[in-house]
Structure 1
Amino acid sequence: MTAHPTWTARVVILDIEGTTSAAGFVQGDLYDYARPRLRSWISSHASDPAIVAAVAATRSEGGLADDADLDAVVAVLHGWMDSDVKATPLKTIQGQIWAAGFAAGELRSHFFGDVVPQLRSWHDRGVRLAVFSSGSVASQVPWFRHADAGDLTPMIEAYFDTVSAGSKREASSYEKIASALGVPAGEALFLTDLPAELDAARTAGWQVIGVRRAGEPNAEADFGDHPVVESFSEIDVVAS
């Protein structure tokens, strides 16, 4: 592990799954909550433009006919969940279901113990905070609002997903985010557990840190020459 005692950045952008939070919680508790509700949610929100678009995209990306019935659509969504495919239409539908679950008090989010204290420390120092996750913005906001440590959303300035920014493995997505945040690329610091995302962000000129969490799916990933930490407590950031 390479030590980096001090980083200078205007904004820290956070991945969620495997970085701030356990992947097992997302793929376990949240998936288990959404899975039996997919069909009824789509049916009861059939006039919602976001759901209409997500269903059409599921048919297209899932290789179904344009008029494939709801059972076939749900089967594709379940298959994506089983394989943990980061499909945007699935994320859209899940995000709405999870947001409703959080609002009803049926779900709570999970953060590693080292995350919230560091977010507060960085925020208090004037470092801006944002999120870039494959999960939809509709699920990101309640995730930060319903933490065991309280409502974290006052610290988070902006949220980005694959709809608003693009693929997390494309440099253009990070360029778009930097532009939206109004910061030079070199003053953005991205934290994620996926090396391919680090590659893309660095290509866009961002500073990057790989997060290697013990027991997480990417704990044994090859981070190449990217700096790597095992805890947010190792990351000292000061505002640029």
Structure 2
Amino acid sequence: MYGWMQRCVVLDIEGTTTPISFVTDVLFPYARKNVREHLTETYHTPQTQADIALLRAQVDQDLLLADQVPGAAVPLPPPDSAVDQIIDALVANVEAMIDADRKVAALKQLQGRIWRRGFDSGEIKGVVYDDVPPALAEWHGATGGLIKTYIYSSGSREAQRLIFGNTTPYGDLRKYLSAFFDTNVGGKRDSGSYYEIWQSLGVDRPSQILFLTDVYQEATAAKDAGLEVLISIRPGNAPLPKNHGFQTITSFAQIST
């Protein structure tokens, strides 16, 4: 078992706490299927208008960098255009971003809003590996609260809270989680993001934080920022480079407190 003396543990979601297939086969298709209905029904609300403004800014940026951005960006009509025309262009861009698995805040924020409809209706239930809830409970309880657990994902904080707040069959796991971080702190492959997280957690040294991820580039960025790192090996995860140099686990049960 991997023993550690850290005061904080930061968890990736996809491929670490949750199967990649849940994201690719459930969440992404649901957002793609329901984006038009969501935008149409909520178009005039302040929240959706803010989401559209964020998407508009992202699309404008993508058009300037069209040769470097995966998926073709469709120009958005001016804000005073017919609503149907704007929604058509928004849907085309959102679908292209989903298909390209873009990690941009504009997409992730909108996806979180759409997924809320699915969670609220019971169409979607959060999925975590069976070894995750007992580990969260142990870190939360057995250590007298000395170990705090956090989530850091490219998905919005709203989406993260939905996943962990509505799991089957484990119910609401948010009671074990102290906070949620998304890419507003920075990209997950940028070491500066992990520096920002360290600054937010109130520990003296970055080495007092253990980060778990399935992605080699994220592991490298966190290590460069001084965090301790474990790589999660789960069914369906992408293969790691040879001689990657990180300790690996296949279950949270391998981590002892």
TM-score higher than 0.5 here? Answer: yes
Q: Equivalents in 2 of 1:205, 1:26: separation in Å?
A: 29
Gap regions ≥5 residues in structure 1: none
From 12, 27, 32, give the equivalent of 1:15.
Answer: 12
Q: Equivalents in 2 of 1:53, 1:173: separation in Å?
A: 25
From 214, 225, 233, give the equivalent of 1:204.
Answer: 225
**CA 1:94 to 1:128, structure 2 compared with 1: closer, same or farther past 3 Å?**
same
Higher RCO, Cα 8 Å, sep 6+: 1
User: Could you tell me which residue of structure 1 aligns to residue 75 of structure 2?
Assistant: 65
Shift in Å at residue 13 of structure 1?
A: 0.5
User: Could you tell me which residue of structure 2 aligns to residue 30 of structure 1?
Assistant: 27
Shift in Å at residue 75 of structure 1?
A: 1.4
Q: Equivalents in 2 of 1:105, 1:17: separation in Å?
A: 21
Q: Equivalents in 1 of 2:122, 2:90: separation in Å?
A: 28
Q: Equivalents in 2 of 1:30, 1:65: separation in Å?
A: 26
Q: Equivalents in 2 of 1:61, 1:138: separation in Å?
A: 24
User: Could you tell me which residue of structure 1 aligns to residue 157 of structure 2?
Assistant: 137
Q: Equivalents in 2 of 1:72, 1:170: separation in Å?
A: 31
**CA 1:61 to 1:112, structure 2 compared with 1: closer, same or farther past 3 Å?**
farther
From 212, 231, 234, give the equivalent of 1:213.
Answer: 234
User: Could you tell me which residue of structure 2 aligns to residue 117 of structure 1?
Assistant: 134
- RMSD over aligned Cα, in angstroms? 1.7
Q: Equivalents in 1 of 2:135, 2:61: separation in Å?
A: 39
Q: After superposition, what is the alpha-carbon deviation per residue over 1:15-72, rounded to whole angstroms, capped at 9, x for unaligned?
A: 0011100111111111222112112222333332541333213422442435363222
Deviating above 4 A after TM superposition, structure 1's stretches of 4 or more consecutive aligned residues are: none
Q: Which amino acid aligns with 1:203?
A: D
Gap regions ≥5 residues in structure 2: 64-73, 79-85
Q: Does 1:225 align with 2:235?
A: no
Q: After superposition, what is the alpha-carbon deviation per residue over 1:60-110, rounded to whole angstroms, capped at 9, x for unaligned?
A: 244243536322221121122223222321111111111232122221010
**CA 1:58 to 1:70, structure 2 compared with 1: closer, same or farther past 3 Å?**
farther
Shift in Å at residue 152 of structure 1?
A: 0.6
Q: Equivalents in 2 of 1:30, 1:66: separation in Å?
A: 25
Contact 1:18 1:217 (8 Å CA) reproduced: yes
Contact 1:19 1:193 (8 Å CA) reproduced: yes
Q: Does 1:191 align with 2:212?
A: yes
How many residues are matched? Answer: 231
Contact 1:10 1:187 (8 Å CA) reproduced: yes
Q: Equivalents in 2 of 1:231, 1:190: separation in Å?
A: 14
- Kindly report which structure 2 residues correspond to 1:165-180, keeping only aligned pairs within 5 A, or say none: 165-180=185-200
Q: Between 113-122 and 60-69, report the one with greater CA deviation.
A: 60-69
User: Could you tell me which residue of structure 2 aligns to residue 90 of structure 1?
Assistant: 107
User: Could you tell me which residue of structure 1 aligns to residue 68 of structure 2?
Assistant: none
Q: Which amino acid aligns with 2:55?
A: V
Which protein is bigger by CA-based radius of gyration?
A: 2
* Percent of aligned pairs sharing the same letter: 35
Contact 1:14 1:191 (8 Å CA) reproduced: yes
Q: Which amino acid aligns with 1:67?
A: P
Shift in Å at residue 212 of structure 1?
A: 1.1
Q: Equivalents in 1 of 2:249, 2:189: separation in Å?
A: 21
Report the TM-score, using the length of structure 2 for normalisation. Answer: 0.84
Contact 1:212 1:228 (8 Å CA) reproduced: yes
Q: Equivalents in 1 of 2:62, 2:21: separation in Å?
A: 25
Q: Equivalents in 2 of 1:114, 1:88: separation in Å?
A: 30
